[in-house]
Structure 1
């Protein structure tokens, strides 16, 4: 097994970050509650985002 180049690892990180950002935006649109500065996600949808964030 070979270790990936730093360039490939950074690119993979950026792609993962973009995917997670899209997921957060979708959840915010459907389940978010509008507050003064944006949207707030609470309850079960917030738990789902948390579990996705930690990789479960």
Structure 2
């Protein structure tokens, strides 16, 4: 995005190639692996677990 807004053609091609490469890698991982690749986000806290209880039922009207 920055390279496009900066109107610097020398930066647009490598940025576009990186986006396309990342997209192709993701699609290949999904097709061959059966799902999206596991995230690699070191330093971030773990996500909280989802509640395991079912929500209260609504009263009959």
TM-score scaled by length of structure 1? 0.47
Greater fraction of residues in helix: 1
Greater fraction of residues in strand: 1
TM-score scaled by length of structure 2? 0.44
Greater Rg over alpha carbons, structure: 2
